[in-house]
């Protein structure tokens, strides 16, 4: 989401083709634009879906009592800044249900206080540790719960990381879909076990910041009429971008957020192919879909295309009007939006709510996103009803030690010629702006939108306010004092003569801290509109390293960054004796890196992305300039599944460091690979049909019953309600086109509530797709021996070659993190499911195992594949 209010007026609904956009003739002449096939009707919930039975029983009991106005209240946000959270729904006072609170972010609670700042998703992914990923999610869920948050807006699998420059990659996990799938699933389970609904976002193809919103693009000088279109073919969609979202559905996620940009020239929040077909039918998603903030562009059309909740509810921030609210009430009353569809929306929202254990009489929301003042207006935009709105509840729950552990275990040792671990070094010189504090405080820049001092996280809505930030300078100095080491630091990159004088002294261990930063598109930092404009280090980091290492034979480099940076100019210098990637570690930054530098934590992080030698070598890049006149910029994902290591392997090009790579202070030996086949039986495609769409309760069609009850409570300025301001429908709607019937502007079958065929790839009541896709076909084991002298964690990785001419050389399929004592051997055990061995067959529309010979590998990175076997 974003906070800028300077936005172009969005097109009103008009004669909407919800999914098919027909480009004008002259554009067609220029280039044939990608299109998206219509898919209707919107699949309704399945009360018997695995894991959702109790939730749906409770939802049915609740929703059956609701009036139409109350149902609409559940689906529609009350407007930007209308209540305390970044988004809130209407309430149901009659039944004691308070408004639901939607709050950022994927690494903590945004915009409040006495909360923790966790390591970024990407740093957590680098642990390759399911338990830590779960614990991080669970701790974030507990903090959200303690503030009264209903839905925590994360975790992220879009962006996946198609382009290393993309601004928000650090919010997610990894460009590898399996690692991201495990990251998103464990996080979801953790958040939801704490009683808070998780939100898988941004669905889908949200791979860059540039041109995701028209108003934002105007802010940096481009007048485009529609947002970027990510054009993704069906096979790439399934094998790469949809894969982790499938895992999210399987993990029982309660909500999804559709994204700002278009896919195949149809807006994600009204793309029926995405929401109705892929998400709700094929994957069998049973929760609700909310829009990203202002990502809704139509009313009835988005409803029948599968959107269930509009956020923050107004068409644009603070217009006081909505595509839903009044319009949705009218749309149901006049028959455009079928009654079963609004019932389905309400059921999905309430089922997600009950699934995580929430109850109707929830505890209150006890913070305000809009101010840190204790007292203020509860309706912030309207400046109305001053009361205590911040209770400053401390929800940190001692999570600092977990944060420290995750960041240390997510730190990747890229190079070590023997200088690490440090053992009471005689003299340490720490150099660099990135080792020190922001002189104006860790929260000085709004949403962390600057790069001053150490980079603990990136910028944008995916952030939280620091309760404290332990800098590398403070933590290493404390250790040095304890050890009796001499310690000096120079916390700028630009004190050349002083730095030179310091690091030229005898017996110095120089530790240079450098960074790169990125974030969300509504903030520009140093010319970076969210997306990075280059892959080099910021603030002359390369020069700093080269200068220090030209005078100091023991130069250790620590990098904080949102992905790869180019190390080419200095990484192989003999004077650069160690390189560490510490990601975005969160509030315990200094403690975590000190633990690794001194060997309290034996490094075992693995790079969740590849480090190319040049920017071009990555093969993909952000689209920085519109390429379709004033119409939607077109981004063709023509590389298919070949991003990150799959691309480098295909191009057979050299890498500085590869995906999955990372060193330890000990050594490991791999042996004894065994592959055991399980008898899963032949795949049975799903057949049959759904039940017809159910409805719950009935409603009055007398428009007088829907008029704003001004005798009951006062209208709040700019607030979005479900009511009509007059019993004249056309006047209440204020839509000049009001009166068109469904068949005039909705696609065929949009209102059809009859039983529908089940897809062969979908299960029967199986969220995540046909359960046979997850049958284990092979179990793989190998012995891993610690051949060094200290205890350490090793991350054995299972890769597969699917064998076809269009398949990547290898793809990651499983991994584990094993703690092994010196001299001891541990067994690595991993599994291969049917999906793991299949390709998406675009003709059959299902996962199919090809006849090409398949090979399995167990190794320590995507390019160090120690053990190999062919599959029978």
**Per CB under 6 A, which of residues 732..751 are in contact with ligand NAG?**
733-735, 738-741
Taking CB under 6 A as the binding criterion, the range among 329-337, 464-472, 586-594, 700-708 that sits at the site for ligand NAG is 329-337
What binding mask, one character per residue, do residues 172-211 give for ligand NAG by CB under 6 A, x or -?
----------------------------------------
Interface with ligand NAG (CB under 6 A), residue from 1, 7, 18, 34: 34
Contact criterion met (CB below 8 Å) for 451 and 588? no
Query: Measured from the CB atom, is 548 or 820 closer to ligand NAG?
Result: 548
Which of 229, 311, 177, 203 is CA-nearest to residue 27?
A: 229
Distance CA 254, CA 357 (A): 12
Bridge partner residues of 459 (DSSP): 519
Q: Is 735 helix (H, G, I), strand (E, B) or coil?
A: coil
452 contacts ligand NAG (rule: CB under 6 A): yes
**Radius of gyration of the chain, Cα coordinates, nearest whole angstrom:** 27
Annotate 80-103 with three-state secondary structure: CCCCCCCEEECCEHHHCECCCEEE
Annotate 684-733 with three-state secondary structure: CCCCCECCCCCCCCCCCCCHHHHECCCCCCCCCCCCCCCCECCCCHHHHH
Interface with ligand NAG (CB under 6 A), residue from 192, 286, 294, 528: 528
| 292 is annotated as an active-site residue | yes
Query: Measured from the CB atom, is 99 or 786 closer to ligand NAG?
Result: 99
Residue ranges in 785-844 that form contacts with ligand NAG under rule CB under 6 A: none
20 contacts ligand NAG (rule: CB under 6 A): no
Query: Measured from the CB atom, is 111 or 859 closer to ligand NAG?
Result: 111
Q: How far is the CB of 259 from ligand NAG (least distance, A)?
A: 12
Looking at beta carbons, which residue is closest to ligand NAG? 363
Query: Measured from the CB atom, is 220 or 391 closer to ligand NAG?
Result: 391
157 contacts ligand NAG (rule: CB under 6 A): no
Residue ranges in 259-298 that form contacts with ligand NAG under rule CB under 6 A: 263-264, 273-274
DSSP string of 495-555, one letter each residue = -HHHHHHHHTSTTEEEEEEEE---B-TT-EETTEESS-S-SSPSTTHHHHHHHHHHH-SSE
146 contacts ligand NAG (rule: CB under 6 A): yes
440 contacts ligand NAG (rule: CB under 6 A): yes
Taking CB under 6 A as the binding criterion, the range among 91-99, 466-474, 559-567, 771-779 that sits at the site for ligand NAG is 91-99
Distance CA 375, CA 386 (A): 7
Interface with ligand NAG (CB under 6 A), residue from 439, 484, 688, 714: 439
450 contacts ligand NAG (rule: CB under 6 A): yes
Query: Measured from the CB atom, is 40 or 323 closer to ligand NAG?
Result: 323
79 contacts ligand NAG (rule: CB under 6 A): no
Distance CA 700, CA 721 (A): 18
Contact criterion met (CB below 8 Å) for 465 and 111? yes
Residue ranges in 582-621 that form contacts with ligand NAG under rule CB under 6 A: none
Taking CB under 6 A as the binding criterion, the range among 88-96, 763-771, 788-796, 827-835 that sits at the site for ligand NAG is 88-96
Q: Across the chain, how many H-helices and E-strands are there?
A: 21, 33
Taking CB under 6 A as the binding criterion, the range among 125-133, 324-332, 352-360, 689-697 that sits at the site for ligand NAG is 324-332
Q: Which residues of 792-812 are buried (b: 16+ CB within 10 A; e: fewer)?
A: bbbbbbbbbbbbeeebbbbbb
Q: Is 198 helix (H, G, I), strand (E, B) or coil?
A: strand
Query: Measured from the CB atom, is 325 or 859 closer to ligand NAG?
Result: 325
Query: Measured from the CB atom, is 299 or 796 closer to ligand NAG?
Result: 299
Name the active-site residue from 113, 176, 277, 292: 292
Residues whose CB is less than 8 angstroms from the CB of residue 863 and which lie 6 or more positions away in sequence, other chains included: 645, 649, 655, 658, 660, 661
Q: What is the side-by-side strand order in the sheet with 797-801? A: 811-815, 797-801, 855-859, 867-870
Residue ranges in 388-407 that form contacts with ligand NAG under rule CB under 6 A: 391, 393
Query: Measured from the CB atom, is 330 or 818 closer to ligand NAG?
Result: 330
Q: Which residues of 38-58 are buried (b: 16+ CB within 10 A; e: fewer)?
A: bbbbbbbbbbebbebeebbeb
Taking CB under 6 A as the binding criterion, the range among 49-57, 142-150, 253-261, 478-486 that sits at the site for ligand NAG is 142-150
Dihedral angle computed from the Cα positions of residues 523, 525, 527 and 532, in that order, rounded to the nearest 10 degrees: -90
Interface with ligand NAG (CB under 6 A), residue from 451, 588, 794, 846: 451
566 contacts ligand NAG (rule: CB under 6 A): no
Q: How far is the CB of 403 from ligand NAG (least distance, A)?
A: 22
73 contacts ligand NAG (rule: CB under 6 A): yes
192, burial (CB in 10 Å: exposed 0-12, middle 13-18, buried 19+): buried
Pairing of the two strands 375-379 and 384-388: antiparallel
Interface with ligand NAG (CB under 6 A), residue from 534, 701, 868, 870: 534
Which of 331, 294, 108 is CA-nearest to residue 215?
A: 294
547 contacts ligand NAG (rule: CB under 6 A): yes
506 contacts ligand NAG (rule: CB under 6 A): yes
Tokens linked to 438: 């922001």
What binding mask, one character per residue, do residues 221-260 give for ligand NAG by CB under 6 A, x or -?
-----------xxx--------------------------
Contact criterion met (CB below 8 Å) for 19 and 273? yes
Residue ranges in 334-373 that form contacts with ligand NAG under rule CB under 6 A: 334, 336, 363-364, 366
634 contacts ligand NAG (rule: CB under 6 A): no
Which of 389, 255, 309 is CA-nearest to residue 77?
A: 309
323 contacts ligand NAG (rule: CB under 6 A): yes
Q: Which helix (H) or strand (E) holds 186?
A: helix 177-193
Q: How far is the CB of 379 from ligand NAG (least distance, A)?
A: 10
Residue ranges in 459-498 that form contacts with ligand NAG under rule CB under 6 A: 493, 496
Distance CA 871, CA 855 (A): 6
DSSP code of residue 799: E
Q: What is the side-by-side strand order in the sheet with 197-203? A: 87-88, 101-103, 151-152, 197-203, 255-258, 288-291
Q: How far is the CB of 146 from ligand NAG (least distance, A)?
A: 6
Query: Measured from the CB atom, is 446 or 687 closer to ligand NAG?
Result: 446
78 contacts ligand NAG (rule: CB under 6 A): yes
386 contacts ligand NAG (rule: CB under 6 A): no
The catalytic site residues sit at 292
């Amino acid at each position: 989401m974003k906070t800028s209010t300077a936005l172009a007026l969005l097109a009103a609904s008009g004669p909407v083709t919800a999914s098919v956009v027909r480009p004008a003739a002259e554009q067609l002449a220029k280039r044939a634009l990608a299109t998206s096939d219509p898919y209707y009707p919107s699949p309704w919930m399945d009360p018997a879906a695995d894991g959702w039975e109790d939730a749906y029983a409770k939802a049915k009991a609740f929703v059956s009592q609701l009036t139409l106005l109350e149902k609409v209240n559940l689906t529609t946000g009350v407007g930007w800044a209308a209540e305390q959270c970044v988004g809130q729904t209407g309430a149901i006072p009659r039944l004691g249900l308070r408004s639901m609170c939607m709050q950022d972010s994927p690494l903590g609670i945004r915009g409040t206080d006495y909360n923790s700042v966790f390591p970024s998703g990407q740093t957590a992914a680098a642990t390759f540790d399911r338990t830590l990923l779960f614990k991080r999610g669970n701790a974030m869920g507990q903090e959200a719960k303690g503030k009264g948050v209903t839905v925590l807006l994360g975790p992220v699998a879009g962006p996946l990381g198609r382009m290393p420059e993309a601004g928000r990659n650090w919010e997610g996990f990894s460009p590898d879909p399996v690692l991201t799938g495990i990251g998103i699933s464990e996080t979801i389970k953790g958040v939801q076990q704490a009683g808070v609904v998780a939100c898988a976002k941004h669905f889908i193809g949200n791979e860059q910041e540039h041109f995701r919103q028209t108003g934002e693009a105007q802010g940096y000088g481009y007048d485009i009429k529609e947002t970027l279109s990510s054009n993704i073919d069906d096979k790439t969609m399934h094998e790469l971008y949809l894969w982790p979202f499938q895992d999210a559905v399987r993990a029982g996620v309660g909500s999804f957020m559709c994204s700002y940009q278009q896919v195949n020239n149809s807006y994600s929040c009204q793309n029926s192919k995405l929401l109705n077909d892929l998400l709700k039918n094929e994957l069998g998603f049973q929760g609700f879909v909310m829009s990203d903030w202002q990502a809704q562009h139509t009313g009835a059309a988005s409803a029948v295309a599968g959107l269930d909740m509009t956020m923050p509810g107004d068409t644009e921030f603070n217009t006081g009007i909505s595509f839903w609210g009044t319009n949705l009430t009218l749309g149901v009353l006049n028959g455009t939006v079928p009654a079963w569809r609004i019932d389905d929306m309400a059921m999905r929202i309430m089922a997600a709510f009950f699934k995580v254990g929430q109850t109707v009489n929830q505890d209150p929301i006890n913070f305000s996103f809009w101010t840190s003042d204790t007292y203020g207006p509860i309706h912030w935009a309207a400046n109305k009803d001053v009361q205590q709105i911040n209770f400053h509840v401390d929800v940190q729950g001692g999570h600092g030690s977990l944060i420290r552990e995750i960041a240390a275990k997510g730190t990747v040792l890229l190079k070590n010629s023997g200088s690490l671990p440090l053992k009471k070094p005689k003299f340490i010189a720490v150099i660099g702006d990135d080792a020190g504090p922001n002189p104006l405080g860790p929260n000085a820049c709004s949403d962390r939108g600057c790069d001053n001092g150490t980079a603990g996280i990136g910028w944008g809505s995916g952030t939280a306010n620091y309760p404290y930030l332990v800098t590398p300078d403070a933590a290493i100095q404390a250790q040095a004092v304890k050890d009796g080491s001499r310690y000096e630091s120079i916390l700028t990159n630009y004190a050349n003569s002083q730095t030179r004088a310091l690091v030229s002294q005898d017996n110095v261990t120089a530790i240079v801290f450098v960074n790169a930063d990125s974030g969300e598109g509504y903030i520009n930092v140093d010319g970076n509109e969210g997306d990075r404009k280059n892959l080099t280090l910021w603030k002359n980091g390369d020069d700093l390293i080269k200068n220090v290492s030209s005078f100091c034979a023991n130069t250790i480099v620590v990098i904080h960054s949102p992905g790869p940076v180019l190390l080419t100019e200095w990484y192989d210098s003999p004077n650069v004796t160690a390189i560490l990637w510490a990601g975005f570690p969160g509030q315990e930054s200094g403690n975590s890196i000190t633990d690794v530098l001194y060997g309290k934590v034996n490094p075992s992080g693995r790079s969740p992305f590849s480090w190319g030698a040049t920017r071009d070598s990555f093969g993909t890049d952000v689209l920085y300039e519109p390429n379709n006149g004033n119409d939607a910029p077109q981004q063709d994902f023509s590389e298919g599944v070949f991003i990150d290591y799959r691309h480098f392997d295909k191009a057979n090009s050299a890498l500085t460091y590869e995906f999955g790579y990372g060193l330890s202070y000990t050594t490991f030996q791999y042996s004894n690979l065994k592959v055991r086949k399980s008898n899963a039986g032949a795949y049975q495609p799903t057949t049959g049909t759904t039940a017809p769409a159910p409805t719950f309760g009935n409603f009055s069609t007398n428009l007088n019953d829907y008029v704003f009850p001004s005798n009951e409570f006062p209208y709040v300025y700019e607030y979005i309600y479900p009511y009509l301001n007059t019993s004249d429908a056309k006047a209440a709607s204020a839509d000049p086109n009001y009166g068109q019937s469904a068949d005039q502007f909705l696609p065929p079958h949009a209102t059809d509530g009859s039983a529908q065929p089940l897809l062969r790839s979908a299960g029967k009541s199986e969220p995540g797709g046909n359960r046979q896709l997850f049958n284990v076909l092979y179990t793989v084991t190998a012995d891993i021996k610690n051949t060094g002298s200290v205890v350490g964690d090793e991350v054995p990785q299972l890769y597969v070659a699917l064998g076809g001419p269009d398949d990547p050389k290898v793809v990651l399929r499983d991994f584990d993190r094993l703690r092994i004592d010196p001299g001891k051997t541990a067994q690595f055990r991993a599994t291969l499911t049917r999906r793991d061995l299949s390709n998406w067959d675009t003709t059959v529309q299902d996962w199919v195992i090809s006849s090409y010979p398949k090979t399995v590998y167990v190794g320590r990175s995507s390019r160090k594949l120690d053990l190999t076997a062919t599959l029978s």
